[in-house]
Amino acid sequence: MKIKTLADLKKVKADVQKKIKLREQSENAGNVVQVKVAMATCGIASGAKETMSFIIDELDFRGIDAVITQTGCMGYCYAEPTIEVTLPGKEPVVYGYVDKDKARQIIDEYIVKGELVDGIIPVNYKTIDE
């Protein structure tokens, strides 16, 4: 393939940008939406994997810059799949029973509009980092 003009180069860049998007975003994770999906045995058994794939695809489709990572068991095994959403500059919020529909609702209302959605699990512990 030959890149013949500057416009061509820009097109190639747009195509390949995806390849390193994951890495670029994780470099400035503090400035974008962060979603952590609990992916311990309990989470996976309740469908966390599907939830995670859905969130990745959906955010990508909507063009929302986000870092989506998996994490270990958050301890809310009764409410799996659970996800923790951190909007830039805000405190993390944990949601329980997140299937695809719930995930769509969270994206629609919380991530896009910043309005809290039902199903928040109050965080009842502090981590040692704090």
Q: List interacting residues with another protein (CB under 8 A).
A: 1-6, 8-9, 12-13, 16-20, 22-27, 29, 37-40, 52-53, 56-57, 60, 67-72
Q: Sort residue 8 into left (φ over 0), alpha (ψ -120 to 50) or beta.
A: alpha
With residues binned 3-state (H G I as helix, E B as strand, rest as coil), the percentages for the chain, rounded to 5, are 45, 15, 35
- If the CB atoms of residues 23 and 124 are measured against another protein, the closer one turns out to be 23
* Shortest reach from residue 118's CB to another protein, in Å: 26
Nearest approach in angstroms of CB 115 to another protein is 26
Write out the H or E segment, with its range, that includes residue 70: strand 66-71
- The nearest distance, CB 31 to another protein, in angstroms, is 13
